[in-house]
Amino acid sequence: MPSVDRRPLAFRSLADVMPEVDRLLLGGYTPSGRWSLGQICQHLARTMQSSLEGEAGRFPRIFRRTIGAFIARRVIARGRMPEGIPLPRSGALTPQDGPEDRAEAEALRGAIRYFAGLPDTPIEHPVFGPLSRHQFEQLQCIHCAHHLSFLRPTPPGRSGDV
C-alpha cells in the first residue's frame, strides 16, 4: 500500500543528496514513516558501502544477470523504488534504534565521498549484477530519495518535531 504522506523527491546525482540531508538536520523534520533521519542515513550509508565493498550477501550469479538486472533497469526507468521491499534477514542493513542524526549524516557523507573517489569501472552489485558507475549512482539516488521522502522539512519559523 503506497504511503500517502510522502513528499515528492528526486536527486539527479549523489552530490544533491547531502544538501537535502543538511537542510533536514538544520531546519528540522517530521517523519511520516518509521525511521528517523539518523536511521535513514545509517541505512543508506550501510547499503551503499556494502554494495561497493561486496559485503552484502550476494544473490546467485544467474539471478544477478537476469532478474536482478531486469529489476535495476526497471527501477532506473521509472525513477522510483517499489515500497515494502524486505531487508535481508541478516539485519546488517536494518538501522539501529536511536542513532544520532548528525553522526549518521556524516557516515552517509563519507559513503558518498568513498563512491566519488572510486575509479570509473563497472560495479558488481550484490543484487542487480554488473552496473556502470552511472547506473549505480542512479540507483543510489533513487534509494536516497525513496527513504528521505518520508521526512517532511519543518516549515521556516516553526520548531521541528524531532
- Tens of pLDDT along 51-95? 998 755 688 899 999 999 999 999 999 999 888 776 666 666 767
pTM recorded for the entire structure: 0.88
Closest by CA position to 18, among listed 139, 104, 130, 94? 104
Burial level of 155, CB count in 10 A (0-12/13-18/19+)?
A: exposed
At 157 the pLDDT is 67
Which amino acid appears at position 158 of this protein? Answer: R
pLDDT per residue as tens digits for the range 102-113 = 999 999 999 999
Q: Which amino acid belongs to residue 120? A: D
